[in-house]
Amino acid sequence: MKKLALIMVSLLLLGGVAANAQGVIVKGGFNYTNASVEDLKAGKTGWQVGVGMQTESWTGFSLQPELVYKVKGVTLEDATKVSMNYVELPVNIQWGPDLLIARPFIFASPFLGYNLGTKFSKETTFADTINKNFHRFEYGLGLGLGINVWKLQITGKYNWNFGRITNWSDATANVKGLDPAARTFEIAVGLRFF
């Protein structure tokens, strides 16, 4: 019930922002995901594409809700690459001065996400257990910097996922310690349409 309420509030917020939208932004970029995992060998580079709406700046503040498709993941010690596909709804709360030719800004970005599925680069003995125990919903906060120049927007952001991405238990002893909360660094470039 709480998840449904969060989704409804997010949709109402998007509707309110759409009424005051200054422009639509189409964006894409890359991300690097890491997690607190005992059997983790390395993080994994992924990508993202999305669309957002930016409101007019009011005393330096503006809102930019987005709908983004992200591919994130990690690499386990046995070289298995785990790719997680998410749809995320971040709401970027931006502040920055308008310098006429550019607008640098800082922003905080609370987000909700939904895991559409997980893929493994090779067969593993625990793939079925992992897939059954993945949490579908995620939530967290991102902090970042960006700049608007003409119709171009460039941003860099660090995301903390406050929830765990799985609820693995002792049943998966060969992947013990896998109760991670993912952290993601991302760089994106967007083009604004008015």
Sequence ranges of the domains in the chain: 2-193
Residue at token pair 């308008």: 98
pLDDT of res. 108: 98
Contact 134, 127 (CB under 8 A): no
- Per residue in 72-87, is it b (16+ CB within 10 Å) or e — as a string? bbbbbeeebebbbbbe
**Fold for domain 2-193?**
Porin (2.40.160)
Lowest mean pLDDT among 91-95, 142-146, 172-176: 172-176
pLDDT band at 53 (very low <50, low <70, confident <90, very high): very high
Label residues 159-177 b or e (16+ Cβ within 10 Å = b): bebeebbbebeeebeebee
Tokens representing 79 are 């070289």
pTM given for the model = 0.78
Confidence class for position 40, pLDDT limits 50, 70, 90: low
- CA-to-CA distance for 166 and 178, rounded, in angstroms? 8
Q: How many CA atoms lie within 13 A of 140 on its CB side?
A: 20
**Residue 127's CB: how many other CB atoms inside 10 A?**
15
Q: SS3 for 183? A: strand
Span of 44-58, 103-117, 174-188 with lowest mean pLDDT: 174-188
